[in-house]
Structure 1
Amino acid sequence: MFEADDIREWRGHDVVDAGKRKIGSLEAVYVDTATDAPSFATVTIGLPTKRRLVFVPLDHATVGPAYLKVPWDRKLVKEAPSIDTDGELLAENEPEIFAHYGLPYSTGAGGERRLGRR
């Protein structure tokens, strides 16, 4: 896995699925607020006049020459919960993102958010 600080340099690079099919371009990284480890990325997809950001888990993601490869199928990622390119992830929408990928979700002991943008 890579460090969250290192991934900032990858903004704008391609995000590809396991078959190296392009999904979109890396926009931002969200870290798990409990561990500060990279947890999800937002990927810019869509036509130039109708872009949106979809969320994809970074667990088992790898970096290659000019791309970030995620182990999720391109179709699944493109159907993931999204926000507008200038939007913000609301706390109440976090569980929906985890559920889309079949991942467990729980808030912190004090009910705090799980994801924070880096």
Structure 2
Amino acid sequence: MQADIDPRRLIGRKAFDRKGAKIGTVDEVYLDDATGVPEWAAVRTGLFSRDAFVPLEPSEFEQDVLRVPFDRALIKGAPDFGVGRHLSPEQELQLYRHYGLDSPPAEGAGPGRDFGRLAGQEE
């Protein structure tokens, strides 16, 4: 994702898969607690559905929509950790494996690497 994008702009935006099919709406953005870098978005996949976590890298935010370079079925099949709380290092690793991505090095974060929700969101 472009580094100059304010992650708060993602909240409420539509998300689309690599084929252009609508996935849902971005509910929350998760930041690395150590660096403050946005790394995950929770996308509401339907009115009565759950949120699916999607990686913000290699996704792109353009024309006010989030474009996720994975198929909708893979996104909807992502591990369900619920939203509104931190992602543990183990949960993050499961998500990276699910998407077939290399997990990034924990630059300065050490073994307790954790992901919190975007500051300012309602509890």
Q: Give the TM-score normalised by structure 2.
A: 0.74
Report how far residue 34 of structure 1 moved. 4.2
CA gap of 1:69–1:104, structure 2 versus 1, over 3 A, is: same
Shift in alpha-carbon separation, 1:34–1:104, aligned structure 2, 3 A: farther
Unmatched 5+ stretches in structure 2: 119-123
Q: Aligned residue for 2:59?
A: 61
Check whether the contact 1:27–1:41 (CA below 8 A) recurs between aligned residues.
yes
1:44 positional shift: 0.5
Contact (CA 8 Å) 1:31, 1:117: kept in 2 or not?
yes
Tell me how far apart the structure 2 counterparts of residues 95 and 56 of structure 1 sit (CA, whole Å): 13
The alignment covers a number of residue pairs equal to 113
Conserved in 1, the CA contact under 8 Å of 2:52 and 2:78? yes
- Percentage identity across aligned positions? 36
Instruction: Report what 2:112 is aligned to.
Output: 112
What is the CA–CA distance in structure 2 between the aligned matches of 1:18 and 1:61, rounded to whole Å?
9
Unaligned runs of 5+ in 1: none
Q: Is the 8 A contact 1:31 1:115 kept in 2?
A: yes
Match of 2:16 in 1: 16
Instruction: Name which of 70, 91, 99 aligns with 1:72.
Output: 70
Q: Of Structure 1 and Structure 2, which has the larger fraction of its residues in strand? A: 1
| TM-score, length basis structure 1 | 0.77
